[in-house]
A and B are shown apart, each in its own frame.
Chain A
Amino acid sequence: MPPEHSDAPALEVATVSVHFGGVAALTDVSLRAEAGTVTGLIGPNGAGKTTLFNVITGLQRPDRGTVYLGGADVTRMGTHRRARRGLARTFQRLELFSTLSAADNVRVGLEAQGRAPAGAAVGLLERVGVGDDAAAPVSSLPTGSARLVELARALSTDPKVLLLDEPCSGLDDRETETLGRLLTSLAGEGRAVVLVEHDTDLVLRVCETVHVLDFGQVIASGPPEAIRRDPVVQEAYLGRAPDPTFDAAAGGATTERERERP
């Protein structure tokens, strides 16, 4: 196993392919996420975004390709060992510890790192904006708050790479605004944040780099402004001629639940 290199990107995915039966979920996908930045990943429903997250975290084995964390090849490593190397994620379909309270959800993560000072769990919940719900059983929380509890749990491991799968669905505009600022500040702490989100407005606002995934392939990569103007992206994402109301139209997809292949 190669050692970590200080100059390597925090996360690198190289030519990853995944098939489900005859369906190509991902084809030769490559991308990198640098420490201290927010990287966006957008694309229509079923484009393979969640599958890519599953490959990165080890929940899905790729047919081909390599995943590097800090320059080290982790492709064959188990999920929990990747997590100990500083990888954390949230889930599009919530994966909370549903019979525990919000604070206990976070505490399990803190205790896994062997550091659970009193108040740390509540502190993290406060940071993401759901401090008031600390004692509530997570199954009684509304979707938006539950997603934020997942975010707090992901932060409990003090990750170097943070994968967020549609953190804004279920949040109102003001909460989305707050979350955007939180993402920027998380990146400011030197973490590499990868954001899958249908709220294109948010993605284009907070991300340094955006990758566009369509039918399992990266069809465009670049800074937000270039992506916004890219005709290929507009074609794939909107399926019609360029429209000045791009943001609004894409933002409308937020309410539609993405359905990934298993």
Chain B
Amino acid sequence: MSTFLAFTVLGIVTGSIYGILATGLVVTYNTTGVFNFAQGAVGAVAAFSYWQLWQQWHWPFLLAIVVVVFVEAPLLAIGVEFVLFRRIHGASVERSLMMSLGLLVILLGVATIFWSSTDVVRSVPSYFTQSDGTVLSVRLFGANGVTIQYQQIMVVVMAAVVAVGLGVFLRKVRLGVAMRAVVDDPELVAMAGAKPHRLSRSGWAIGFMLAALAGVLLAPIVGQTGLTADQLTLLALNGFAAAVVGRLRNLPMTFVGALALGLITQYCVGYLPGHINPGLASVLTEVIPVAFLFVVLLVIPAARLAPAGRLSVRPVPRVVTARQSAAGAILLVAGMAVLASMVGDTALATLSQGLAFGIVGLSLVLLVGYAGQVSLCQLTFMGIGAFTMGKTFGNHSWWGLVLAVAVSGAVGAAVALPAIRLRGLYLALATFAFGEVMFSAFFSNSSVISDGTSINVGRVPLPFAHSVGDRAMLVEVAVAAALCAIALGALRRSAYGRRLVAMSDSPAAYATVGLSPVRTKMLVFSLSAAMAGLGGVFYAGQQGGIGPNDVQFITSLTLLLFVCIWGVRTLTGALLGGMTQAALPVFQTHLPHSLADVTGLAAGIGIVLLARHPEGILGMEWLTSRVRLPFGDVPAAQPQLLYDGEVARAA
């Protein structure tokens, strides 16, 4: 009985924190239309700031909490709204997702720069302790009862205050009511005299404050042994799952979801045979929220195809002609062949890796650029391809390559199958969950990759050669990337390519001409995963193996961002994005610690740029008017015309 009570208390406490986090997510989503992927990262930054103020600068802890939650968080929110989100108000799902993912990378970069040195352990003690360090607590239900710490009571009280307070605010307070209205129709709210910008800024501020509160409350619970940014950020997954239970709208259901998730996790930790395997508890706390999210995504009703009610004002991309893509391909292979004979080992490796990432980048052009779907687990597909190559046909054969492509494609279809009936945002969440599950349960699993670092993967053999050296490897990858680019260009010009673009532009209209968005999405998801798997074969072949470090969520994310920053609707952008991804870590080794996370910084700067230039660097007019790019697929600027004032919000 006392065990049960103890785990119940833990479940309610962690559930309350997830609830606070998720509520912030829901409020931001409903006032701004942006799903803040960085919600956990905001919590992480808050937890670190709190540690800094309290433990380093010895402020009173209550003052530290107040400053973090009521000063730092809203200021950060206002800055973020101004720099990143103001210009994309009313933009498409994939574009606003990209911005919030960029914010995630920026915040993680900030945390890395300020709080990553290993000189100090960032441990956060409990809030209410006696001078000898014992945690203050009360005992309930006598000897067979349960001990509840004061800070646990505080967490639950805070959650209740948040729940009730927000309920009152959104229903009774003028600002709150207007905030609920703004996402439904910003024009109408503006006509009624409110300022949509101010309202969405309030939405960001509330979301950030709640994230900060969750981070501060979580700090002493997870931070006994030291805070890490990744750990805190991934805790946001719990918040995502809870928010999805509330279907991103319903605050009470969000709290119910959060509590259910907290309890389920704790009961599993408590009652599954964790004593057999001491490591199981930590695996469970990672896997259960993901599994929960996945299951919830499967059972929520399929989204109806809502007419977008607005026209995209994106410039119309110029489609690559067959001649242009052939010319670009020849240029690419010839250029790499010349470089292969000139540069040293490090550069060779970086170029090969960059092109392998470039192939994965091309798979993102297909998925994100053409079809308007977002995948956050593209490197997982890359890893699956590489793994298949490494485990079959003696790890270096053409048959292995064929199988790798087929297996990645099949897995891609399997992931898409249940998730694809959902809207873009939910699909992105499902891919995120899938990537995380594969990372913890497959690639990090010692029965899959026995030494925990990598399995061997050989190189694709060339005719007339005994082994493939680094120089030959570079040319080989260049040929593969060039062929992928040609294929993608041909696909875009085909009837199927027109369909992808049409589906992305208007799913509702797409269905009314008799086409099934579900089938189209599934096929494109599968094709894209297959291409990522192909990239994985070359990626792993270049470095000789594949392991858990190669398939991390954050790397999937930065690659996606770099491709978008260069131009996600261009073939050139994919290859440059891949190159950037491979080159930055090499630069990193030559830089001082103050630039600890150069990848994050570059992605951050790029995202700010992307907020102003939706087509990325390659779509910027001063560039397109001066330079001709190899694949000639630069988005052409178009005069943007507003219909009925309907698209004014996007402008």
Contacts and interface: CB of A to CB of B under 8 A. Distances in A.
Interface of A: 54, 57-61, 78-81, 83-84, 87-89, 91, 93-101, 104-105, 107-109, 111-113, 116, 137, 139-143, 146, 150, 153-154, 156-157, 170, 257, 259, 262
Given A91-B307, A140-B641, A142-B641, A83 B312 contact: no
Nearest to B514: A83
B505 A262 contact: no
A217 to B, nearest CB: 23
- Residue from A94, A111, A142 whose CB has the most chain B CB atoms within 10 Å: A94
A140 B638 contact: yes
Given A93-B310, A108-B502, A112-B514, A79 B316 contact: no
Contacts of A109: 513-514
Interface in B266-321: 304-314, 316-317
B498 A94 contact: no
A98 B516 contact: no
Interface in B484-533: 495, 498-499, 501-502, 504-506, 508-517
Nearest to B311: A98
A33 B515 CA distance: 24
B368 to A, nearest CB: 14
A257 B305 CA distance: 23
A80 B316 CA distance: 26
Contact of A97 (B317, B505, B646): B505
A84 B308 CA distance: 22
A140 B516 CA distance: 28
Contact of A99 (B312, B508, B516): B312
B622 interface: no
B133 interface: no
Given A83-B512, A94-B311, A139-B638, A59 B502 contact: no
Given A80-B511, A139-B313, A146-B643, A59 B501 contact: no
Contacts of B184: 262
Contacts of B495: 107-108, 111, 116
Interface of B: 184, 188, 304-314, 316-317, 495, 498-499, 501-502, 504-506, 508-517, 638-641, 643-644, 646
Nearest to A60: B304
A156 to B, nearest CB: 7
Nearest to B312: A98
A23 B49 CA distance: 47
Given A59-B304, A59-B305, 15 more contacts: A79-B512, A80-B514, A80-B516, A94-B311, A95-B307, A95-B506, A95-B508, A97-B509, A98-B505, A104-B498, A108-B498, A112-B499, A139-B316, A153-B513, A262-B306
28 contacts: A59-B305, A60-B304, A61-B304, A78-B516, A80-B512, A80-B514, A80-B517, A83-B512, A87-B512, A91-B307, A94-B643, A97-B501, A97-B509, A98-B311, A99-B314, A99-B505, A100-B316, A100-B502, A107-B495, A108-B499, A112-B513, A139-B311, A139-B638, A142-B641, A154-B512, A170-B644, A262-B184, A262-B306
A99 B512 contact: no
A111 B515 CA distance: 10
A80 B504 CA distance: 16
Given A99-B317, A262-B184, A57 B512 contact: yes
| Chief secondary structure at chain B's binding surface | loop
A244 B117 CA distance: 84
A76 to B, nearest CB: 13
Contacts of B640: 139
A99 B511 CA distance: 17
Contacts of B643: 94, 143, 146
A60 B511 CA distance: 13
A112 B515 contact: yes
- Residue from B313, B508, B509, B517 whose CB has the most chain A CB atoms within 10 Å: B509
A96 B641 contact: no
- Residue from B317, B499, B641, B646 whose CB has the most chain A CB atoms within 10 Å: B641
B513 A156 contact: yes
Contacts of A112: 499, 513-515
B631 to A, nearest CB: 18
Nearest to B308: A95
Which 9 A-B residue pairings sit nearest by Cβ, starting from the closest? A83-B514, A79-B511, A95-B509, A109-B513, A97-B502, A97-B505, A137-B316, A95-B506, A80-B511
A83 B513 contact: yes
Contacts of B316: 99-101, 137, 139
Contacts of A58: 511
A108 B510 CA distance: 9
A122 to B, nearest CB: 15
A89 to B, nearest CB: 6
Contacts of A116: 495
A21 to B, nearest CB: 12
Nearest to A88: B512
B309 A93 contact: yes
Contact of B509 (A60, A78, A153): A153
Nearest to A85: B514
Contacts of A94: 311, 643, 646
B465 to A, nearest CB: 44
A140 B639 contact: yes
Given A111-B499, A112-B515, A257-B644, A59 B508 contact: yes
Contacts of B513: 80, 83, 88, 108-109, 112, 153-154, 156-157
A111 B501 CA distance: 14
A141 B640 CA distance: 10
A22 to B, nearest CB: 15
Contacts of B313: 98, 139
B505 A100 contact: yes
A116 B499 CA distance: 14
A260 B317 CA distance: 32
Contact of B512 (A89, A101, A137, A140): A89
A157 B515 CA distance: 11
Contacts of B306: 59, 262
A98 B640 CA distance: 11
B307 A93 contact: yes
B646 A96 contact: no
Nearest to A101: B316
B309 to A, nearest CB: 5
A163 to B, nearest CB: 9
Nearest to B646: A93
- Residue from A99, A105, A111 whose CB has the most chain B CB atoms within 10 Å: A99
A88 B450 CA distance: 57
A93 B640 CA distance: 17
Contacts of A91: 307, 508-509
- Residue from B310, B508, B514, B646 whose CB has the most chain A CB atoms within 10 Å: B514
Contacts of A113: 514
A59 to B, nearest CB: 6
A98 B506 contact: yes
Contacts of B308: 95
A128 B646 CA distance: 24
A199 B312 CA distance: 28
Contacts of A101: 316
Contacts of B641: 139-142
Contacts of A146: 643
Contacts of A95: 307-308, 506, 508-509
Nearest to B306: A59
B648 to A, nearest CB: 13
A57 B514 CA distance: 11
A99 B305 CA distance: 19
Contacts of A100: 316, 498, 501-502, 505
Nearest to B499: A108
Contacts of A54: 307
A262 B184 CA distance: 8
A139 B517 CA distance: 22
Contacts of A99: 312, 314, 316-317, 501, 504-505
A113 B499 CA distance: 13
